[in-house]
Structure 1
Amino acid sequence: MVTLIKNGTVYSPEYMGEQDILIIGNKIAEVKKEIGSCSIFSAIEVIDATGKLVVPGFIDQHVHLIGGGGETGFNSRTPELALSKIIEAGVTTVVGLLGTDGFARHIESLYAKSKGLEKEGLTTFMHTGSYTIPSTTITGSVDRDILFIDKVIGVKVAISDHRSSHCTGEELTRLASQARVAGMLSDKPGMVHVHIGRGKDQLNMILDIVENTNIPITQFVPTHVTRTRELFEQAKQFVRLGGRIDITTYSEFTSTNDLKPSKAVMECIKEGLPIESITVSSDGNGSIPKYDSTGKIVGMGVGNLNASHLFLKNLVQEEGADLSVALKFLTVNVAKVLDIFPEKGKLQAGSDGDLLILNKELNIDTVYAMGKKMMEHGEVMVKGTFED
């Protein structure tokens, strides 16, 4: 399969101007000003991207592939995610995880879903664990999951949340150490992806571990850090200390309008924080419980993968960020956190053929994943096995 995309304005995510991109198989073979249709290829598809933008495929590191929820009973469990919903969001690489429910949801099922989506054309990874410690695993231990299961790149846990298991600092330190060593031995990130709730402790336990143990700050990636202004200020300090944070693009996580995802990221940019240490993710397909002042659940929303694409448009069109900067939070920054750069997050020779063609309004026109056309002119061409 050979594809030649011509005359598009390329953001790699750095601005490169008008360039042609040659994809051979699942890899980008060449990016340069002009590439002729090579006669050595018997079948080559030429795509005219004149007047459009070509950018890396989005990487979403927090998606509930097999569903989430359950906080108001078994009928409130969100269903499995269909391939087409991921493609429509411009996501070409996805990391799956469990949420509140690590009992009726299983890591084995998440692994199977990840393998299935890979078969259907996406690049997939996953975290072992859920909200609790001890972590739910496949092999019986977090380190063995990371070491021996191809898809597993780290572990998820929840802190500062009434739904968590309220682990101790010693337990979280031990979990981080297991993940770190297993990551080293298997050449994986071995990261601890930390769900942060609205609890009073915020990031204090992580900061205490970093200050009083040998675990480096980069071992932890706290997410949902814009829930409150106080938490966000602490998260910004976490970045200044050398840490990395993940901002959820689903706006229901924010308590005030000034913490809208695009506004929060622009605040970081204006304050001169190292933007390479900031990523965004959707919490796609997870349940979003809504609580009243007494802590009672009064409503339930569902995270949408499209939230990250909307974040990009808002950051550029409303907050005035340059597109080359805005793209980094969904592409290269995430690829580096997941240790999959430059195969992912970049448009250059040798990178995977994951790219999006956008119109001038930044709407998604066409999606390529691993060199395969998944969507064209807004219509999904490759659907999941059981989708209509």
Structure 2
Amino acid sequence: MSRIVLIKNAHVFAPRDLGVCDVLIAGEKIEKIDQGLSLPAAIGETVDADGAWLIPGLVDSLVHISGGGGEGGFASRTPELDPREAFKSGVTTVIGVLGTDATTRTLNELYGKARALDAQGLSCYMHSGSYQFPVNTLTGSVRTDIMLVHNIIGVGELAISDHRSSQPTTAELVRVASDARVAGLLSGKGGVISIHVGDCKGRLQPLFDAVASSDLPISQFYPTHLNRNDNLLAHGIEFAHAGGFIDFTTSTTPEILASGELRASRALRVALESGAPADRLTMSSDAQGSMTNFCDNGTLQDIEVGSVASLFDEFRRAVRDERVDFVKALHSVTANPAKVLGLRHKGSVAPGLDADLSIVDPTSFELQHVMARGRWQYFDRQVRFQGAFAK
């Protein structure tokens, strides 16, 4: 029998503001949103939200789920993602990627970790490829990876304008984007190319050149890390005005900020004030990735690990400190990334969609409960999930 949960008296942001409603969940799906709903005492579970905010589960479009790093040598390889860290941070959907190291970090390993996280209740998709070109694949081609492997939805993160990139040509970018686009169309997936953008002088020009030299829509490319500095942000805003989606990275350090990076929350505010379309702006954590700080000659100065918790933190900071409209900020971590990635059952609260949601205390702006696919994984500020080897 399916689990039935009724959440009463919640101020629902779907992410559109629906006011105070009741939300009925049956199994893994949202069944109904209305007022005055009730359940017989012997059926299901009723939770009174008492006016707290009910928001969609956060969609994190860039997570190194199997670990990353290594730019400081083998001892600097970062650990894999613990699903408990995602659940207690309100993140219910993640996209797994490889980064700089596609030699000791493999797609096989990434695929296994993605399947494990999904079995543990965290919806997990992945991209084929890594920083490098030619693109590493599971099946021998980008097209068959996306079409035949159910949880592969695109390619990434392919690096440009970075000294760690393979420096792909315009023709190479067009070819891989074309393959991903056709595969996405045929399989009903997003088929986008997640683009790691470094801080070299080319910025987003390789993507503008690829679009100008082909029939590809600019939305086929999904560039991230665009809050590295003011100049890159300005180029990103131009990209968004041209019809593309742009992403800001929430994980950072004081040293990286001191070198010129903007917090993702600040970049979101600047982009909105510059007139960038609110539905084309996203934030992601880059969790478990290495946060590297290189000096001008390319020498590594320090390295730390990205955190999935930073996504909710920057959403909150955008609203509280940067005075970004609550609904616009919420879109950037829910509906917008779900849209660009083609995840039609994620990022919103509506009948028929996956029951991924969080209940947030409106006074403290802290997470109270988190539900993923109809199950409470974090409740009363306590993690409920326990892995196979938990004591």
Q: Normalising by structure 1, what TM-score?
A: 0.96
Q: Residue 273 of structure 1 aligns with which residue?
A: 276
The alignment partner of 1:139 has SS state of: coil
Deviations 1:235-275 (A, max 9, x none): 10001111111111123465667822111111122222211
Distance 2:257 2:192 in 1: 25
- 1:75 CA displacement: 1.2
Which letter maps to 2:125? Answer: F
The residue type paired with residue 174 of structure 1 is R
* 1:254–1:236 Cα change, 3 Å: farther
**Within 1, Cα distance between the matches of 2:168 and 2:342?**
28
Kindly state the Cα deviation for residue 383 of structure 1 after the two structures are TM-superposed.
Answer: 2.5
Specify the alignment match of 2:212 in structure 1: 211
Which residue matches 1:133? 133
Q: Judge conservation of contact 1:228–1:255 (CA < 8 Å) in 2.
A: no
Alignment of 1:308-347 (within 5 A): 308-341=311-344, 343-347=345-349
Residues 53-93 of structure 1 deviation map (CA, whole Å, 9 limit, x = unaligned): 11100000100000000111111111111110111111111
Paired AA for residue 72 in structure 2: T
1:359 partnered with 2:361: yes
Q: Percent identity?
A: 39
1:13 is matched with which residue: 4, 15, 18?
A: 15
Please tell me whether the aligned partners of residues 139 and 145 of structure 2 are also in contact (alpha carbons under 8 angstroms): yes
Give SS of 1:65's match: coil
CA distance in 2: counterparts of 1:236 and 1:96, whole angstroms: 26
**Aligned counterpart, 1:37:** 39
Contact 1:227 1:255 in 2 (8 A): no
Question: Which of 346, 349, 352 does residue 350 from structure 1 map onto?
Answer: 352
Code of the aligned partner of 2:190: P
Alignment match, 2:249: 248
Q: Distance in 1 between matches of 2:168 and 2:211?
A: 16
Shift, 1:140, TM fit: 1.4
The corresponding residue for 2:229 is 228
The amino acid of 1:250's aligned partner reads S
Q: Would the aligned equivalents of 1:5 and 1:20 in 2 still touch at CA under 8 Å?
A: yes
Deviates more, 1:286-295 or 1:96-105: 286-295
Taking the aligned partners of 2:390 and 2:171, their CA distance within structure 1 comes to: 46
CA deviation after TM superposition for structure 1 residue 321, in Å? 2.2
User: What's the CA shift for 1:8?
Assistant: 1.4
State yes or no: 1:81 paired with 2:96.
no
Shift of 1:323: 1.8
Distance in 2 separating the partners of 1:387 and 1:301: 27
Equivalent residue for 1:290?
293
> Which stretches in structure 2 are left out of the alignment for 5+ residues?
none
In 1, Cα distance between equivalents of 2:125 and 2:340: 13
CA contact (8 A) 1:228 1:254 kept: no
How do residues 116-195 of structure 1 correspond to structure 2 at under 5 angstroms? 116-156=116-156, 157-195=158-196
Q: Indicate conservation of the 8 Å contact 2:252/2:291, yes or no.
A: no
Q: Secondary structure at the match of 1:251?
A: coil
Amino acid at match of 1:208: D
Q: Give SS of 1:69's match.
A: coil
How far the C-alpha of 1:38 sits from its partner, in A, is 3.8
Q: Is the 8 A contact 2:9 2:50 kept in 1?
A: yes
Aligned residue among 372, 375, 378 for 1:369: 372
Check the 8 A contact 2:252/2:306 in 1, yes or no: no
Deviations 1:89-121 (A, max 9, x none): 111111000010000001011111111111111
The answer to whether the Cα contact below 8 Å between 1:82 and 1:387 also exists between their aligned partners in 2 is: no
- 1:82–1:384 Cα contact (<8 Å) kept: no
Q: CA deviation at 1:178?
A: 1.1
Contact 1:57–1:355 under 8 Å retained in 2 = yes
Alpha-carbon distance in 1 for matches of 2:260, 2:197: 20
Q: Check whether the contact 1:28–1:347 (CA below 8 A) recurs between aligned residues.
A: yes
Report the TM-score, using the length of structure 2 for normalisation: 0.95
- Residue 324 of structure 2 aligns with an amino acid whose one-letter code is A
Tell whether 2:94 aligns with 1:91: no
Task: Say how many residue pairs are matched.
Answer: 385
> How far 1:384 sits from its partner (Å)?
2.6
